[in-house]
Amino acid sequence: MLTEKYMDFSKLVIYQIYPRSFMDSNHDGIGDLKGIEQKLDYLQELGINAIWLCPCYKSPNVDNGYDIADYRDIMDEFGTLQDMKDLIKAAHEHGIKVIMDLVPNHTSTEHKWFKESKKGKDNEYSDFYYWRDEPLSDWTACFGGSAWEYCPERGQYYLHSYAIEQADLNWDNPRVRDEMCAVVDFWVDLGVDGFRIDVIDQISKEFPTRNCFGPHLHEYINQMFGREKTAHLFTVGECWASDMEEVRRHCAAERNELTTLFQFEHSDLGRDTKYERRPQSLTAARDILIKWQNIADDNDLLYSLFTDNHDSSPFLSRMGNDQELRYESATCIAAMFYTLRGIPFIYQGQEIGTALPNYNSIEDFDDIEGINQYHADLPVFGEKKAMERINFGSRDGFRRPMCWSGEAYGGFSTVKPWLTTNSRYQEVNLEADRASEKSVFRFFKALLKLRLNTPAILYGSLNVISRPEDPFFVFEREYEGEKYTVICNFEEESTISVPENTEVVLQNYLDRAETFRPYEILVVKHN
């Protein structure tokens, strides 16, 4: 049985906003907080009840805001702290909770702590970062190159797990922990309802081996979120390497660490390494979902239900047919994830079936990771293939401005946006979608409404009916005598029997046929 607190969290539907690309209110080509505020009616109509904002803090933007220079202030392009207060207030008035992105593992090298720390060993911030006389040679940074950078001013090397401009904080220093708790409290006082915590599994480190889950990880998370002031918050951790035991340790209700975490086993589907396509059936996603649903059920945990985020190209384009069956695939994928137990996350644009764009020039890219990869690829693969790889794999794939209409720049801005508009914007945009008989947006609305009004979908047990060898996914959800069957057919046409004595409560094809057509889904309620 889920605890009462977790049953309450189960009613969340979280919409992830990439602020830079959501809506530009003041025509400078960059999305901003006022732009988000303008779209709250839209989000309310969609039926979500929480937004997670990717980092909005003061930042030199080497890694799009994940390099924070001041945790208590807003990035100039996004607006002011007052705008944030207004947004929180307006969101709450719309019945929408606000979840901030917290980046505790590293700061920008422009952060005051780092600027002080690099001055020398007797500075009061000296131990806020990891300084070494020699680099630990086998440590590489996630964005390429060594993870140790020499700082001439201090005459030592500092650790950066990501970009050179993102220095890792030394969490073994109690002052760092106190500072980060104060940052959390600052935002709680401003009214935020929860946090998504960036690479949380890396904050406790072990030297010289390089491990996630350092020896003090759980203690540190508990210190942040297990306090009286924070224990009520919704928290979701980004954990790249969690196995079952770790998930249990992080998310069991009584531990007061995280409400849930992102578990990424399914995110590499449809690709071999990040940059190469690998054709794969949705049955692979089904099997991973079943595995983690069962773990969550057995342990009374909440699983996070997501396909997309700002770090990877659209799942739809990797695992579905984003051409003539774009609507069918987008809705099928949504139905199979969001009728399960856990916390649904919708990434901006997913609700209109945003698909992977294509460009011919490196000028159309911004993602530091993708661009570094492109330059590494050039000598190995040549220009054409390197472009193909960055188009497929770069994080820009789903970071491009939201397409609200078929107007110039997709109606996101009246001027050229910071990042080239999705090349398919005339075909894939909200206005066109709404006008279409096959509207992904309308399907999402119906799906979320069904979810939030159906205890069996929110809390029910899962009973998988389809067999592993079936090219589809059929399961039942049952709670307090109410039962639903969800049928998700995948790529091929299939014969699937619909249980008798049921009524249809959701479908993505406009009519019914003898067989189930590609990506057809059906949810029925048992009478």
For the annotated catalytic residues, the residue numbers are 198, 238
Specify the stretch interacting with Ca ion by CB under 5 A; choose among 31-39, 331-339, 346-354, 485-493: 31-39
CB of 278 to ligand GLC, least distance (A): 22
Partner in contact with 103, chosen from Ca ion, ligand GLC, none, beta carbon below 5 to 8 Å by kind: ligand GLC
Site string for ligand GLC, 224-243 (x = CB under 6 A): --------------x-----
Which of 13, 19, 24, 292 is the binder for Ca ion (CB under 5 A)?
24
- With beta carbons less than 8 A apart as the criterion, state whether 329 and 355 touch: no
Q: Spell out the long-range contacts of 266-274 with Cβ–Cβ below 8 A and sequence spacing 24 or more.
A: 266/307, 267/312, 267/315, 269/315, 269/318, 269/319, 270/315, 270/318, 270/319, 271/318, 271/392, 271/393, 273/393, 274/312, 274/373, 274/393
Partner in contact with 234, chosen from Ca ion, ligand GLC, none, beta carbon below 5 to 8 Å by kind: none
Neighbours of 398 (CB within 10 A): 27
Q: Is 306 in the site for ligand GLC (CB under 6 A)?
A: no
CB of 513 to ligand GLC, least distance (A): 42
Neighbours of 69 (CB within 10 A): 21
Q: Is 162 in the site for ligand GLC (CB under 6 A)?
A: yes
Which of 2, 100, 103, 333 is the binder for ligand GLC (CB under 6 A)?
103
CA 491 to chain CA centroid, Å, is 25
Partner in contact with 129, chosen from ligand GLC, Ca ion, none, beta carbon below 5 to 8 Å by kind: none
Q: Is 30 in the site for Ca ion (CB under 5 A)?
A: yes
Among the listed residues 236, 187, 207, 189, the one whose alpha carbon sits nearest the alpha carbon of residue 57: 187
Partner in contact with 198, chosen from Ca ion, ligand GLC, none, beta carbon below 5 to 8 Å by kind: ligand GLC
Residue 336 CA to residue 344 CA, distance in Å, equals 11
CB of 63 to ligand GLC, least distance (A): 5
Partner in contact with 436, chosen from Ca ion, ligand GLC, none, beta carbon below 5 to 8 Å by kind: none
Name the residue whose CB lies closest to ligand GLC.
Answer: 66
Orientation angle between helical segments 282-299 and 244-251, nearest 10 degrees: 50
Give 123 or 414: the residue with its C-beta nearer to Ca ion. 414
Give 64 or 307: the residue with its C-beta nearer to Ca ion. 64
For 337-352, letters b (16+ CB in 10 Å) and e give bbbbbbbbbbbbbbbb
Which of 28, 70, 127, 185 is the binder for Ca ion (CB under 5 A)?
28
Partner in contact with 26, chosen from Ca ion, ligand GLC, none, beta carbon below 5 to 8 Å by kind: Ca ion
Q: Is 243 helix (H, G, I), strand (E, B) or coil?
A: coil
Residue 520 CA to residue 315 CA, distance in Å, equals 17
Neighbours of 410 (CB within 10 A): 23
**Which is it for the CA torsion 513, 517, 523, 526, positive or negative?**
positive
Residue 492 CA to residue 282 CA, distance in Å, equals 11
Which of 37, 63, 83, 491 is the binder for ligand GLC (CB under 6 A)?
63
Partner in contact with 63, chosen from ligand GLC, Ca ion, none, beta carbon below 5 to 8 Å by kind: ligand GLC
Which of 311, 427, 470, 482 is the binder for ligand GLC (CB under 6 A)?
311
CB of 119 to Ca ion, least distance (A): 36
Name the residue whose CB lies closest to Ca ion.
Answer: 32
Residue with tokens 């047919």: 321
**Strand partners for 295:** none
Q: Is 66 in the site for ligand GLC (CB under 6 A)?
A: yes
User: 14-17 and 343-347 as β-strands: parallel, antiparallel, unpaired?
Assistant: parallel
CA atoms within 13 A on the CB side of 175: 7
Among the listed residues 375, 281, 391, 373, the one whose alpha carbon sits nearest the alpha carbon of residue 336: 281
User: 156-159 and 148-151 as β-strands: parallel, antiparallel, unpaired?
Assistant: antiparallel
CB of 341 to ligand GLC, least distance (A): 25
Q: Is 26 in the site for Ca ion (CB under 5 A)?
A: yes
User: 234-238 and 194-197 as β-strands: parallel, antiparallel, unpaired?
Assistant: parallel
Site string for ligand GLC, 426-445 (x = CB under 6 A): --------------------
Residues that bind Ca ion (CB under 5 A): 24, 26, 28, 30, 32
Residues that bind ligand GLC (CB under 6 A): 63, 66, 103, 162, 198-199, 238, 310-311
